[in-house]
Amino acid sequence: MSVVVFVEVKNKISKAAMEAVYYGSNLGTVNVVTFGDASEDALKELGQYGAENIWVCRNLSEANDQALSRLIAAAVEKANAEFVVLAQNQTGKAVGPRIAAKLNAGHISGAIDLPDTSNGFVVKTNVYSGKAIAHVALHSDKKVISILPNSLAPQQNQKSGNIEDFNPDLGSNGIVVKELKSQGDGVPLPEAELVVSAGRGLKGPENWGIVEDLANALGATTACSRPVADIGWRPHHEHVGQTGVAIRPNLYIAAGISGAIQHLAGVNGSKVIVVINTDPEAPFFKAADYGIVGDAFEVLPRLTEAVKKFMASQN
C-alpha cells in the first residue's frame, strides 16, 4: 500500500509532522511531500519515523491551499497512493478537504487513533466538540486522513528517507500573503503539550502576570475562558472551549474558571486536568484529576515556585 504524507518542515520537524509520518508508516510505504526551504537535516529525521521517500517542492514557498492540493495530487499520482495523511492544523484544515474533493476521497478530519481495519476501514474522531467520539468508516478507494495534534505517541521506525526535489506544475495561486504580523514563536495552542489557562476569577487583565509566570516556569502555552476573551482581557486566539480552540494537551491547568459545559467541551481531551478555584462547588472539579480549593492569587505563585524547584532538581 502506498501512502502520501504531507508535512510542513522548517528548521526542525514538528511533533505534528512526526505524528503524520508515523501514522502513514502504519498504513504502508510512506512518501512524504513537503515544500519551501526545509533544511536537509530536518528532512532526514523524517526517515526515523518511517519515511521511505521525501519529495520537496522547492518552487513553492507559501502554504497556499490551491497550490498545495495540486502538489499533493501530483504526489498521489506519482506514488499511486491510496492514502493521504496530514496534520489537522491550520494548513491541514485548508488543504485536507480540497485534496479529498480533488481525489473523490472520503475524508477523516481529526483522527485520534490508528484505523481499525478488522471490518472495513474505520477511524475514530472527536465529535460534538469533544463530548463524544465517532467511529467513521471510509468507503472510497482513496482516503484522506488528517490527525488531531497530540493524539498519538509517534515511535521511531527507521526507513531510508531518500530526499528528492519534486516540482510539478502547480498553476496559478489565488491567495497572496501581504504580511505576517508575528506573535513570537511560542507553541500554538492546539499543539501545546502543557497549557495554563485562567478565567474571570483573575479579576482583570493586569493580573495575568501570575498566569504567565507559571506558564514560563513550565514551558507552557497560555489560554483563557470565553468571557475573558469576549471582554478583551485576552486575545481571541487564546480562547479555548466549544466556540474557541479545542485542545488536548498532556496537562491543562485552569485557574478561576468555573467549568461551564461549553468550556469543558474544548478541553476534556486533556490527559490531566488541574483545577484551581475558590468555589468548592465549581462544576470543573467534576472533570478534574487534581483539584485545589483556594485563591488563584495565592495558589498560582506557590505552584510556580514548586515547579521552579522541581525543574531545578531535574537538571
Partner 1 sequence: MKLLVCISKVPDTTSKINFVDNNTKFDENGVQYIVNPYDEWYALVRALELVESNGGSVTTITVGTTADDPTIRKALAIGANDAVRIDAEPTDAYFVAKQIAEYAKNENYDIILTGKETINYNGAQIGGMIAEMLDIPFVSLATKLDVNGNTATLERDVKGGVEVIEVNTPFALSAAKGMAEQRIPNMRGIMAARTKPLNVVSPVEQDALSSVVKFELPDAKSGCKYIEPENMDELVELLHNESKVL
Q: Which of 255, 202, 200, 190 lies closest to 226 in space, CA to CA? A: 200
Number of chain residues interacting with partner 1 (CB under 8 A): 98
Looking up cell 508515523 gives: 22
Residues 115-154 that bind partner 1 (CB under 8 A): 120, 122, 125-140
Per CB under 8 A, does 15 bind partner 1?
A: no
Name the residue type at position 267. Answer: V
Asked if 144 and 107 touch (Cβ cutoff 8 Å), the reply is yes
Residues in the chain: 315
Cβ distance to partner 1 smaller for residue 163 or 229: 229
Residues 200-239 that bind partner 1 (CB under 8 A): 218, 229, 236-237, 239
Cβ distance to partner 1 smaller for residue 46 or 299: 299
Asked if 111 and 87 touch (Cβ cutoff 8 Å), the reply is no
| Non-local CB neighbours of 125 within 8 Å, separated by 6+ positions | 108, 109, 110, 111, 112, 133, 134, 136, 148
Cβ distance to partner 1 smaller for residue 19 or 52: 19
Per CB under 8 A, does 272 bind partner 1?
A: yes
Residues 248-267 that bind partner 1 (CB under 8 A): 250-251, 261-262, 265
C-alpha cell at 296: 488563584
Residues 282-301 that bind partner 1 (CB under 8 A): 285-295, 298-299
Cβ distance to partner 1 smaller for residue 98 or 159: 98
CB of 170 vs partner 1, minimal distance in Å: 13
Per CB under 8 A, does 110 bind partner 1?
A: yes
Cβ distance to partner 1 smaller for residue 207 or 243: 243
Which residue among 15, 44, 78, 93 contacts partner 1 (CB under 8 A)? 93
Cβ distance to partner 1 smaller for residue 58 or 309: 309
CB of 2 vs partner 1, minimal distance in Å: 20
Beta bridge partners, 124, equal 135
**Cα–Cα distance measured from residue 205 to residue 180, given in angstroms and rounded to the nearest whole number:** 26
| Non-local CB neighbours of 221 within 8 Å, separated by 6+ positions | 186, 187, 188, 189, 192, 194, 195, 196, 215
Which residue among 176, 206, 232, 312 contacts partner 1 (CB under 8 A)? 176
In our burial notation (b when 16+ CB lie closer than 10 A, e otherwise), range 271-292 reads eebbbbbeeeebbbbebbeebb
CB of 147 vs partner 1, minimal distance in Å: 14
Helix (H) or strand (E) holding 21: helix 15-25
Which residue among 175, 205, 209, 231 contacts partner 1 (CB under 8 A)? 175
Per CB under 8 A, does 180 bind partner 1?
A: yes
Per CB under 8 A, does 75 bind partner 1?
A: no
